[in-house]
Amino acid sequence: MVFGSLADTTRRDILRRVAGRELSVGEIAASYDISLAAVSKHLIVLERARLVTKRREGKLQVVEFAPAPLNDAAKHIQRYRDIWESSLDKLEAYLKSQP
């Protein structure tokens, strides 16, 4: 799930890096103090949320950013704001209708 994936600081940071350019799992892991296995698990989470894809390139696993789920997340957020806005509109209409 997208919001769940974005809930972790390390994962958000990884996502920012791979949005800039494709990186191998090892290259990504080099930026963090945690084990390679831990980074690999973070990448699996991001992969399940379809925020990244992986492909083998020789002995490397190359991680590529996939923006689509972010659009869904943004729509989700926009929806809350739309509901909020429309409730404000209703309130305004009501106040205007008052004597």
44 binds a second copy (CB under 8 A): no
Residues near 25 by beta carbon (within 8 Å), at least 6 away in sequence: 36, 39, 40, 43, 54, 60, 61, 63
CA–CA dist 7, 61 (Å, integer): 24
Nearer to DNA, 35 or 86 (CB): 35
> Which residues inside 15-74 make contact with DNA, applying CB under 7 A?
24-27, 29, 33-38, 40-45, 54, 56, 58-61
Contacts with 46 (C-beta within 8 Å, 6 or more apart), sequence order: 5, 11, 14, 15, 52
Report the nearest approach of a second copy to the CB of residue 20 (Å): 5
* Interacting residues toward a second copy by CB under 8 A: 1, 3-4, 6-7, 12, 15-16, 19-21, 65, 67, 70, 73-74, 76-81, 83-84, 86-87
